[in-house]
Amino acid sequence: MRKWIKWVLIVLVAIAATLLALSFLTYRPLPPRSSEAPSTHITDTADTVLGRSVTRLRADHTGQTGIYPLADGRDAFAIRAALSEVAEKSIDVQYYIWHDEVSGRLLLQSLRRAADRGVRVRLLLDDNNTGGMDGVLMGLDAHPNFEVRVFNPLMHREWRVLDYLSDFARTNRRMHNKSFTVDNQTTVVGGRNVGDEYFGAGDGVMFADLDVLAAGEVVGSVSSDFDRYWASESTYPISSIVPKTTPPIDIGTTPANNAATQTYLKALAQSGLVEQLHSGSIPLEWTSAQMISDDPIKGLGKASREQTLMGRARQVVDSAQNEFTIVSPYFVPTQAGTDELTELAKRGVKVTVLTNSLSATDVAAVHSGYAKYRKELLRAGVKLYELKPSATIVATGTGGLTGSSGASLHAKTFEVDGKQVFVGSFNMDPRSAALNTEMGLLIESPNLAAQLPASLAANGANNSYVVTLDGNNLRWTTNENGQSVTFEREPHASWLRRASVVVMSWLPIEWML
């Protein structure tokens, strides 16, 4: 036995030594910072099509923001594309993920057409998910009206894992922000990345997500926030990162004539939201809204608590008197968060959480960081719902849960006391709190805030598992085919997946989840 342990230790030490050597041998420093002139958002946009439309709409709403929720994936894509097509002066776009597939390529082509019309386009992407896109991004960046920058770049363009070996402290911090701002008049902010699974394209697993279209007062704050990320120490021009030998790719401006693209375009044509945008008849709710975000120095590990979204959001949550409802696909409360939710419940606040079930989540490791706190939360009186893989969340009118095959929750929102609602990129997990940068809108809207708890109360039993305690044992109850069904283990998850969650819950990885 001792001999076996000795050999295991030798192997582990050898692996550690090899990884350490690789980290030194493969380290590539970042290029020198650019000394280019500052680039800021264009403010002289009142006489654009969007400017005149917004001026007319907010005539009786001085100092307020018009809000329209975008829960349907195709509507969410259509509104972005339509805004791009009417842009006259500027488009500022910031995303964590941008897939070069049907929806992503169509949106890039729309941005390219805007640049061809003379619109200044600034595209800021987190570099963690740009693999395989260097040629496309370089082709866009070559356009005189189109500039591409990346946040926290990876210097190994092919073997990107080497950056995590040689510069883990930096590369483990990512920009998770998501915004699409046109002519400094309208913006789309929320949880969606750019990809087919977010915009209802194709037939794979779809992410149930939520954005808001905003016009009016808050847009200037989103534009200013984009400026500080664009100029941050973690942001580099794509041309300074990609090897000069990489040939630029011209994506053109005409949609591909393949079946997938044409099918998606036909589906988009059925959205009535674009016509409402052009006619200025989108039913915006005019109210008070604040943009809250992390200071981009968080990407360097230098942000104080006061400079983080978490610090501001915690003040709002702590003010809860009656109810606090969380919708988070990656819910990892940690012991500190569990204690805070327990304290809220002790004060008489009704605390409710909707997150993914193990069978619905796309990241089992994150589920392991949530699962170990379920019993403690339930004993404190916190209500837990876990979304079924056959359901999704829709907020077009009621925020209700409806059936949709092969869905995974991706919306990130919470409401406090039926008055305030947050919509943004922030997950309730340690990565969003301490590592990634995040942003979102905090909206004063009893109408939107009331939809979350009302939806769960009305539809939660059909489209999610209600988690309860039977003594010391967890139970998952749901309605299937009109009958109440109770499961004694994680529903519709294989034994291997369940076992992996248990093993991962033992590992010291919670701070990265």
Backbone angles phi, psi at 5, to 5 degrees: -60, -40
3-state secondary structure of 243: coil
- Among the listed residues 178, 372, 383, 419, the single catalytic one is 178
Q: What is the Cα–Cα distance from 268 to 262, expressed in whole angstroms?
A: 10
Tally of CB atoms within 10 A around 226: 24
Handedness of CA 487, 492, 496, 497 (dihedral sign): negative
Catalytic: which of 92, 410, 419, 429?
410
- Cα distances (Å, whole numbers) of residue 317 to 2, 302, 420, 442: 53, 24, 10, 12
Is 417 tagged catalytic? yes
Burial of 14 (0-12, 13-18, 19+ CB in 10 A): exposed
Q: Which of 176, 367, 372, 388 is catalytic?
A: 176
Query: 41, 89, 99, 412: which one is catalytic?
Result: 412
Contact between residue 202 and residue 258 where contact means Cβ atoms under 8 Å apart: no
Report the C-alpha gap between 441 and 218 in whole angstroms: 9
For residue 300, give the DSSP letter: G
> Which one of 92, 134, 183, 225 is the catalytic residue?
183
Q: Crossing angle of helices 259-268/73-86, nearest 10°?
A: 90
DSSP, res 124 = E
Give the Cα separation of 132 and 409 in Å (integer): 27
Spatial distance between the Cα atoms of 377 and 345, rounded to a whole number of angstroms:
9
Known catalytic residue at 183:
yes
End-to-end CA distance of the chain: 35
Between strands 120-126 and 90-95, the pairing is parallel
Both structure tokens of 495: 């034994």
Residue type, 18: T
Q: What would the two tokens of residue 245 be? A: 């030998």
For the chain, what is the total number of helices (H) and then of strands (E)?
17, 23
Annotated catalytic residue within 141, 143, 417, 492:
417
The contacts of residue 429 (CB under 8 Å, 6+ apart) are: 328, 330, 331, 332, 366, 369, 513
Q: What is the CA radius of gyration of the chain?
A: 23
Asked if 420 and 447 count as a contact pair (C-beta separation under 8 A), the reply is no
For residue 215, give the nearest of 46, 94, 72, 77 by alpha carbon.
46
Task: Kindly tell me the burial class for residue 308, based on how many C-beta atoms sit within 10 Å of its own C-beta (0-12, 13-18, 19 or more).
Answer: buried
C-alpha 111/C-alpha 91 separation (Å) is: 8
Question: Which residues are part of the catalytic machinery?
Answer: 176, 178, 183, 410, 412, 417
